[in-house]
Amino acid sequence: MTLGPAGTREPLSRVRVVAAGVALADTLGVDAVSMRQVGRQLGVEAMSLYRYVSSKDVLLDAMVDAIVAEFPVADASLGWQDRLRTLVLGAYLVLLDHPWAAAAATSRPAVGPHRLRFSDDILGTLLDGGCSPQLAHDVSHAIDNHVFGFTLHELRLEAGSSGSAYAPASVPDGGGAVPTPHLSFVLQHAHHDRDAEYAFVLDVLIAGVENALATSAAG
């Protein structure tokens, strides 16, 4: 690698490595993120990265957490419902900007510090709303799953944007197509509005919490 006219170059660092990985994933997809590619992006050999990330796995974990770091922070001036909505919809918007991130996050067990912070905000909001610790715990899992899982779902649908979302890829042994009467009926009579669906399910969860709070107060 030739140096610039000044003869020096920006030194490597963990943040620069992670940022290069994110940039690569954003433009070419996660599959393009290999140690050698990331190195090339930085004008450096693959092995040099190992001084800053101990393995490719921790690089990916750090990349995911770098995205989660952009998630919004709880706004204490709102009621708990709107606070939740802000958090969850904000996370959704961030994930839409980095289509690989939802997939990477769900397919990887590690939970980074920023994700812990986000979970803590969700839990704090639920506790503020009057949830028992148990209820808050359960609902926060459901919300986590909604944020990452549902967003992944939506991204996939719009990725395979060539007409129908349901495109069977593998043919069964016998060969013939599977009859799916209800599926085709629904696809004819319903349209797919990404954002509305996401908000709808979130509202169902919120309504579920309100209901649980009401019945526990009454009992």
Partner DNA sequence: GCGGCGTCCCTTACGTCGTAAACGCGCGGG
Partner DNA sequence: CCCGCGCGTTTACGACGTAAGGGACGCCGC
- Which residues, numbered 55-94, are part of the site for its own copies (CB under 8 A)? 58, 61-62, 65
Q: What are phi and psi of 27, to 5 degrees?
A: -90, -40
- Distance between CA 5 and CA 12 in Å, rounded? 18
88's contact among DNA, its own copies, none, with CB below 5 to 8 A by partner kind, is none
Please identify which residue in 6, 190, 217, 218 interacts with its own copies, judged by CB under 8 A: 190
In one-letter notation, the amino acid at residue 180 is T
In the bound state with its own copies, the residue whose beta carbon lies nearer, of 28 and 116, is: 116
Residues 6+ apart with CB under 8 A from 133: 127
In the bound state with its own copies, the residue whose beta carbon lies nearer, of 24 and 209, is: 209
186 binds its own copies (CB under 8 A): yes
Residues 6+ apart with CB under 8 A from 124: 74
Q: How many CB atoms lie within 10 A of CB 84?
A: 24
145 binds its own copies (CB under 8 A): yes
34's contact among its own copies, DNA, none, with CB below 5 to 8 A by partner kind, is DNA
Q: What are phi and psi of 146, to 5 degrees?
A: -65, -50
173 binds its own copies (CB under 8 A): yes
Instruction: Give the x/- contact pattern for its own copies in 93-122, rule: CB under 8 A.
Output: ----------x--xx-xxxxxx-xx-xxx-
Q: Confirm if 67 and 101 have CB atoms less than 8 A apart.
A: yes
Least separation in angstroms between CB 3 and DNA: 10
Q: How many CB atoms lie within 10 A of CB 89?
A: 16
36's contact among DNA, its own copies, none, with CB below 5 to 8 A by partner kind, is DNA
Q: Which of residues 16-55 bind its own copies (CB under 8 A)?
A: none
44 binds DNA (CB under 7 A): yes
Q: Confirm if 28 and 15 have CB atoms less than 8 A apart.
A: no
201 binds its own copies (CB under 8 A): yes
- Distance between CA 101 and CA 65 in Å, rounded? 9
124's contact among its own copies, DNA, none, with CB below 5 to 8 A by partner kind, is its own copies
Least separation in angstroms between CB 168 and DNA: 19
- Distance between CA 191 and CA 103 in Å, rounded? 24
Task: Name the site residues for DNA (rule: CB under 7 A).
Answer: 1, 11-12, 33-37, 39, 43-48, 50-51, 55-57
